[in-house]
């Protein structure tokens, strides 16, 4: 049985506003959890390059939708790379998302989860020592800068 909206103009107006903000965006993939009854949403990104305008607009729309749902919602954008472009600055200036990059992103994961992922990452991940010289020569020959994906 499909639920129907109440026949209340105010409810319909709020629903229309949310629909306009979110549209067809799939929010099911977002990591959502509660801490002391406060919703927390975490979105993970590898980095922000030149093709991130659509993603930036999506994050602003989704952030606004979460805030309409519950104004207390804490929004976190955790970005692996530290070298990003202006689209990430747009998100920072939106004051919707708490943006953390590189080492700060891993520290935020530690804070939110109580895990010590940051130290574990430093102990385990060392691509310079674990991958062969041939591998590094191969990725250097690519058009895209693939070495940035090895910076954890």
Domain of 93 in residue numbering reads as 26-123
pLDDT in tens, 94-122: 999 999 999 999 999 999 988 888 888 88
- Domain assignment present for residue 62? The answer is yes
Q: What is the CATH number of the domain that holds 99?
A: 3.40.1560.10
- Alpha-carbon gap, residue 100 to 104, rounded angstroms: 5
What are phi and psi for residue 64, nearest 5 degrees? -65, -40
Q: How many domains does the chain have?
A: 1
CA 58, 64, 65, 66 dihedral sign is positive
With 0-12 CB in 10 A as exposed, 13-18 as middle and 19+ as buried, what is 130?
Answer: exposed
| Residue numbers in the chain where pLDDT is lower than 70 | 1-6, 18-19, 21-29, 50-51, 143-145
């Amino acid at each position: 049985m499909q639920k129907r909206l109440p026949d209340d103009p105010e409810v319909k107006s709020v629903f229309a506003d949310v629909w306009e903000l979110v549209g067809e965006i799939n929010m099911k993939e977002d990591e959502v959890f509660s801490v002391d009854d406060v919703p927390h949403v975490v979105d993970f990104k590898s980095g922000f390059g030149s093709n991130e305008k659509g993603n930036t607009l999506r994050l602003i729309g989704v952030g606004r939708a979460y805030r309409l749902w519950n104004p207390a919602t804490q929004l976190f954008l955790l970005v692996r790379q530290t070298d990003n472009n202006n689209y990430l600055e747009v998100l920072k200036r939106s004051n919707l998302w708490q943006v953390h990059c590189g080492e700060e992103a891993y520290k935020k994961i530690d804070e939110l989860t109580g895990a010590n992922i940051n130290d574990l990452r430093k102990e385990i991940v060392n691509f310079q020592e674990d991958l062969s010289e041939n591998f590094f020569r191969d990725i250097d020959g690519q058009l895209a800068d693939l070495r940035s994906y090895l910076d954890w």
